[in-house]
Structure 1
Amino acid sequence: MITGDVEVTEGMMAQSDRQSAEDPLPPVLWGLDPVHGVFAKLYIQDILQLKNSQHVPGIFFYGTHPISRVDILGTVVQRLEKEKFYAFGVDDGTGVISCVYWKKQMPAQVTKTASPPGGLNLRQQLSRLASLEEDQRRVELGDVVRVRGRVREFREQREVSSISLVKVSDPVFDAQISRMLELPHLYRSFYDKTFRKDGCEADEHGALILSLQSKIKQFLAQNQVKNFYQRELETIDSLSCIARRDREGQCGQDSALNPAETLTQETISSPCVSRQIHATFQQAVSALQEEGVIFQKVAGPNELYLVTDEEKQLHNVTLDIIRDDCTQPKYIERGCPFRHILNCVRQCYGAGVTEATLQRLLDRLECGSQIVSTMDRYYTAC
């Protein structure tokens, strides 16, 4: 009885191991993930914890994203030079990873063409340039370097086989601060989001939604629309023409938006559109909400939508909150945190303001030099 239980338990564990051994994303879909085709800027700690692919050597996974190449910035804390390569450890504050950079063969060893009498000695010049290049690649302890290369494992140790190595002159830590501010945005926007197959398939319906979303955004900007109801958009010919393609399969090329088109009572009284067209508009409008382009003070299917860039009251309320609160002792040094600003805006303006809406507004205020970000998602008035 005990033996049987052990065998069953071992069988279940083996089955569980086989299931957990499967890659988070099938290899046939790797090319659909944009993270797979770039040098991913990751913290070194996360690079060291990447999971190996069970199907293809040299492929690793951060969540559901297949990664083969990385871009790191850090300080050299270890150094070793061999005849054919440099090996050095890079520390970005989260961990240390070993990087290997292979030396290039000197042109003097491969170039055999003799120079013409009295002419330029090309072999000598190429050798000199190669020596200068090698000097630039010879890193020392304490150097700040940017390394791009492929992730690999050598003797059960994770390392980066460098393709590009650049020493960064960074006396005031400008490059490192920029990287520190950039990485949280990349993690939120790309790395920490689960890869969705249906979000990458270029089917007709998905392309139609993206096209309608873009056209609505263009229409709102061209006509400086401040607020609207969804049913008003559905009566605009240049927009409903796009939505009808999903049902009719025909509409020709996108008609150019007429700047003279406005949301008037005549358009509101136009005949109702089909349920399918209504659903298509609903998906496009929802996507614009997630992007922060529009929002609702009060959530509901028939409530008024407000355009973020044109809602001056929201701009003024947000700016006043930052100006007042950044003078408080606990915010005077670093500025007001994003969550604090969001809570205050929801109390003073409306509970329907989303994080995406406020982030778009803060970016717009910063571009207008009305506020400045002191660190990641901390803001103070100029």
Structure 2
Amino acid sequence: MKISTTGIYSATAWIALGLVVLLISGCGTKDTEARQVVQKDGTAITVLDNTAESVYTSLKLERIDRIDELRGMDWIDEDTLVVSRENRQLNPETIEGEARYPRNLYRYELASASQSALVEGDHTYGSAQFSPDKRHMFYMELYESTGMGYIMDMASGQSVKLDDKEFMMDEGVWADDAHVIYSDMEGAVKRADLKGASEAILQVEGARAQGAVQSGNVIYYIVGGEAGQQLFAWDGDTKTTAMLSENVTSVLPSPDGSRLALHKRIGPGKVELLLSDAEGKTLSTVASGMQVFGTNWSPDGSKLAYAVSENGDQYRFFIMELETGEQTEVLGNNDVSDQLQWSPSGKKLMIPTGELKDNVYKSTTYIINLS
């Protein structure tokens, strides 16, 4: 399988489809006036209200690569991905009259489009992500909405199971080079080491913790209840817990831990992407829509990538520069299947998309190359 020759676009050719005009308000690390962003030749040109002066961002789109039939998961290095695809060497399962093949995990080289197996078998595997030092890969054996977690040693290719019980398929992230943190089905937040041994770090009484992530010695997690979904922070040094914000559906700390990217439900059919400090105090509103998904910080914390949908179906994809607050649309009118992923250098952004057509799910991965 090769990168589609019809799916490699220069920035100029892509923008030639039409200038993209965005009306953005309240973006950046502080409150700003409404602004108009015009994308031209891969550069976002920002025109502030009541001024004739144009402000050019440093973000420039070099090209977009499209990879068909592969679902990108994470970067192994600057030029190599871990991807999921159907393994048609195995026997399919017939579901609603359609042949469904197990999806397995593969190493994909961008330059040569070559693939090699990482995890193959009769089950479907996904949710793959690499430790910060790239020496280990967390992944899941997936069922419907749950799965079993594993950690693979990339040097030996050997995997260990994290737990004897299933947990939700959207749980599990690296806390550091040597630990994965996740929430189990009983409400506990657990941490597993590279040998698969797991321990409960904290227990939420009467509810289930969700979306646990760690930044330094602080663990952020979300609890749903009568008051809605609330964001909590647990300090590993003092062993104390504080409620930071309400109606939060997702939290992602910046690489240096100074800021949080929050998805917050503000009403029926409306979600906002907010930036807050580490204590949950809102700094700015980045975007809003019926859905916001896939948000991720660049490795140096200077940029934020995210996807916004106005209708709950098709998404538009943006990169915001934190220093200026300016936003550039890099891809439009696609569904999004997983979190957006930055390459180690921060010069490439992987956007995994998918479409259910004729009862068959088709994956396409885009690589946004920045100069």
Fold-level similarity (TM above 0.5): no
The structure that is strand-richer by fraction is 2
Please give the TM-score of this superposition, normalised by the length of structure 2: 0.24
Name which structure has the greater RCO, CA cutoff 8 Å, separation 6+: 2
